[in-house]
């Protein structure tokens, strides 16, 4: 049930990393949400932006497990409280790894540790390719994709 994705981005790892953690980067690639955290191992994080609860909707949240700038970030992930009543029980893990490949960056995303019957699995399986495509487009061109939403 693990979700594994690999994409190659025509940019340096520092540029990809900036898109993954900076407010302007996350706002662009995660549909208006910003990533809020101190990024220390063990610290909480949350993606907050427009949604079910207005402009401050918590879409996902969890705990930072690993944070090595320009190389590796891993965190637990729960759906936001407005999405699932049992959100605290629905924990998965996301790991993002950046590697230099020639003049490009290989971005590997693994979303694992899915509990049996997780209600967000199918949506997440379809959502990650859109987010990864947004990351690639944003880092390479400064623009995100129009998904018609």
**Which band of pLDDT confidence, cut at 50, 70 and 90, is reported for residue 148?**
confident
Per-position DSSP letters for 108-133, written without gaps between them = EEEEE-PPTT-TTHHHHHHHHHHHHH
42 burial level (CB within 10 Å; 0-12, 13-18, 19+): exposed
Scanning the chain, the segments in alpha helix (DSSP H) are: 13-21, 23-29, 121-141
pTM score: 0.94
Mean pLDDT of 34-62: 95
pLDDT at 90 over 90: yes
Q: Which residues contact 27 (CB under 8 A, 6 or more apart)?
A: 33, 34, 49
pLDDT at 136: 98
Spans of all domains in the chain: 3-141
Mean pLDDT of 23-27: 96
pLDDT at 119 over 80: yes
**Domain 3-141 -> CATH class:** alpha beta
Mean pLDDT of 88-96: 97
């Amino acid at each position: 049930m693990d979700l594994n994705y690999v994409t190659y981005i025509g940019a340096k790892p520092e540029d990809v990393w900036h898109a993954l953690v900076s407010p302007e980067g996350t706002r662009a690639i995660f549909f208006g949400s910003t990533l809020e955290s101190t990024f220390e191992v063990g610290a909480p994080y949350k993606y907050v932006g427009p949604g079910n609860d207005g402009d401050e909707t918590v879409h996902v949240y969890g705990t930072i497990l690993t944070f090595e700038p320009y190389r590796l970030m891993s965190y637990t992930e729960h759906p936001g409280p407005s999405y699932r009543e049992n959100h605290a029980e629905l924990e998965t893990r996301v790991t993002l790894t950046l590697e230099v490949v020639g003049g490009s960056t290989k971005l590997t995303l693994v979303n694992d540790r899915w509990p049996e019957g997780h209600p967000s699995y199918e949506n997440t399986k379809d959502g990650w390719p859109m987010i990864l495509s947004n990351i690639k487009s944003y880092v390479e061109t400064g623009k995100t994709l129009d998904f018609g939403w």
